[in-house]
Amino acid sequence: MNFQILAATTSTVCKHGNLLGFPSWYEYLNGTVGANGLCSPSISSISDIWLVVAAIIEILLRVILILAFFYVIYGGIAYITSAGNSESVVKARKIIQNGLIGLVIAFSASIIVNFIASSIK
């Protein structure tokens, strides 16, 4: 006799390993997990489209976080290499200050988007 085992699919939130901490575009969507262990996300209502938009916004905010971090590092290097020139020191401090403000804004926005997406789901 030839028996075939069919794996049952279950509905779950599709979360896979993230690349460098970035969420996937289907981070908040429900999907079905097949026999191979892979999740197939499904869009079934208009709120699911907003969940995809929220995930894309969160990806962009994380890119902005990384850019702001490197901007602070750039300001630090400019501060170190200013060699005591008062004009260069003021400019480097302004770069660091703007980078830190960008970090705070992007981090706060990322938390807000994550909260809103979790409440929509």
What digits encode the pLDDT tens for the residues 11-42? 566 666 566 677 777 777 777 766 666 677 77
| DSSP H helices in the chain | 46-80, 86-120
Coil, strand or helix at 15: coil
Is 95 a residue whose pLDDT tops 90? Answer: yes
Count CB atoms within 10 A of the CB of residue 118: 11
Q: Residue 15 class from Cβ within 10 Å (0-12 exposed, 13-18 middle, 19+ buried)? A: middle
What's the whole-number mean pLDDT along residues 95-115?
93
Who has greater pLDDT, 37 or 55? Answer: 55
Q: How confident is the model at residue 50 (pLDDT cuts 50, 70, 90)?
A: confident
Is 53 a residue whose pLDDT tops 80? Answer: yes
Which residues does residue 10 pair with via DSSP β-bridges, in sequence order? Answer: 33
What pLDDT score was predicted for residue 9? 46
Backbone angles phi, psi at 30, to 5 degrees: -85, 155
- Tokens 């999907």 locate to 31
